[in-house]
Amino acid sequence: METRIRKLDYSRIDENIIQEAGQIIREGGLVAFPTETVYGLGGDALNPESSRKIYAAKGRPSDNPLIVHIAEKSDLYRIVREVPQKAEKLMEAFWPGPLTMIFFKNELVPEATTGGLGTVAVRMPSDRIAAAFIRAAGGFVAAPSANVSGRPSTTTAGHVEEDLSGRIEMILDGGQAVIGLESTIVDMSVEPPVILRPGAVTREMMEEQIGPLEVDKAIIAPDSGIKPKAPGMKYRHYAPRADLAVVEGQTEQVIAAINRMTEEKEAEGKRVGIIATDETASRYPKGLVFSLGARRHEEEIAMHLFEVLRDFDETDVDCIYSESFEEASIGPAIMNRLLKAAGHKVIHV
């Protein structure tokens, strides 16, 4: 199949293109679209056949449920059995935005969309192209991240094209995703609610609204063999082709350790990649150094992480060493993705 690519301009969103994309969804096809988090691979959430196509296009295991995207808060009540008061508070504070909430689903939502689960994940994106597209598509768009399963999520239309060209009807190009990491996921079907995936809406931000939350233990101690509650979190993710290890410790020691390991590897004839920041990049005389941006602007780090992991796949490095990111707010979300990409290989110095 030939994938149509349509560029959109936020200052003047072309309604004809939006309608063309919406019609593809209503007819059971697939469209990748920009959101503020990452690009989504969309299909009709209420059509089991569309969900099956999404799994096939991504090569995604079919027990890994999709997130249903809506454009009106009121549409939530049409697909779930109940909306707890705490969820209404979070909706009030963070929708539209990078927060996904899990509810008990009703019979309108096919199990093909929820990976066989009785619950459904729902998000209302703030991106204006996404909102217009969801409305044109009928209001309920199932979408996981628009990448081939296991690869880093996509933050530009070009990345989507790399992964999914020829497998989907259309890509809507809205430029670079501004957050660059997937949404926070919080399970509202249990009490207290549980964070299943960290994102730009942080634990502290939510606790300010609704009081104490729990965090899925599989996020904190991923090596412990605990089964994550978000099925998708159990799969190896984001992995670059080269071996990636995260180096943790005081900045000066991390730089020294990475330089030493780089020399050792190069002496063995290996090629080494280094994930650094603007503040540290010039401190690495050897290896192929990519910067994620300024450490003092952690949003920049978040925005460029998946892009840099993909950039390394275009090179011939054998191994990659990355600095670590422990800072507050979006730091836990950055580290969560980086550690998954590294298969939890951490070097403490």
- Chain residues in the site for ligand AMP (CB under 6 A): 64-65, 67, 102, 114, 117, 119-121, 144-145, 182, 185, 196, 229-233
Closer of 105 and 265 to ligand AMP (Cβ): 105
The helix or strand, by DSSP H or E, that contains position 130, with its residue range, turns out to be helix 128-136
Partnered with residue 171 across adjacent β-strands are 5, 32
CA 51, CA 330: separation in Å to the nearest integer?
A: 31
Q: In angstroms, what is the minimal distance from the CB of 69 to ligand AMP? A: 10
Q: Which does 65 bind (CB under 5 to 8 A by kind): ligand AMP, Mg ion, none?
A: ligand AMP
Residue nearest to Mg ion (CB): 145
Shortest distance in whole angstroms from residue 115 CB to ligand AMP: 7
- Distance in Å, CB of 215 to ligand AMP, minimum: 14
Q: In what helix (H) or strand (E) does residue 312 lie, and over which residues does it extend? A: helix 298-313
Give 3-state DSSP helix, strand, coil % of the chain, rounded to 5. 35, 20, 45
- Which of ligand AMP, Mg ion, none interacts with 22 (beta carbon under 5 to 8 A by kind)? none
Least gap, CB of 251 to ligand AMP (angstroms): 31
CB of 122 to ligand AMP, least distance (A): 9
Q: 196 touches which of Mg ion, ligand AMP, none (CB within 5 to 8 A by kind)?
A: ligand AMP
Q: Is 149 in the site for Mg ion (CB under 5 A)?
A: no
- Count of CB atoms situated within 10 Å of the CB of 254: 23
Judged by CB under 5 A, does residue 145 bind Mg ion? yes
Give strand pairing partners of 315.
none
* Shortest separation between residue 139's beta carbon and ligand AMP, angstroms: 18
SS3 call for 243: strand
Decide if 8 contacts 32 (C-beta within 8 A): no
Residue 291 interacting with Mg ion (CB under 5 A): no
The distance in angstroms from the start CA to the end CA of the chain is 50
Q: Which is nearer to ligand AMP, 265 or 337 (CB)?
A: 337
DSSP state of 282: G
CA distance 43 to 28: 7
Which does residue 329 touch among Mg ion, ligand AMP, none (CB within 5 to 8 A, set by kind)?
none
**Residue 140 C-beta: closest distance to Mg ion, Å:** 19
Q: Is 336 in the site for Mg ion (CB under 5 A)?
A: no
- Choose between 57 and 91: whose C-beta lies nearer to Mg ion: 57
The listed partner (ligand AMP, Mg ion, none) that binds 124, CB under 5 to 8 Å by sort, is none
154 touches 146 (CB < 8 A): yes
- Dist CA 245 CA 266 (whole Å): 16
Residue 27 neighbours by CB under 8 Å, 6+ apart: none
Give the Cβ contact number of residue 221 at 10 Å. 10
> Which of ligand AMP, Mg ion, none interacts with 120 (beta carbon under 5 to 8 A by kind)?
ligand AMP
Binding site for Mg ion (CB under 5 A): 145
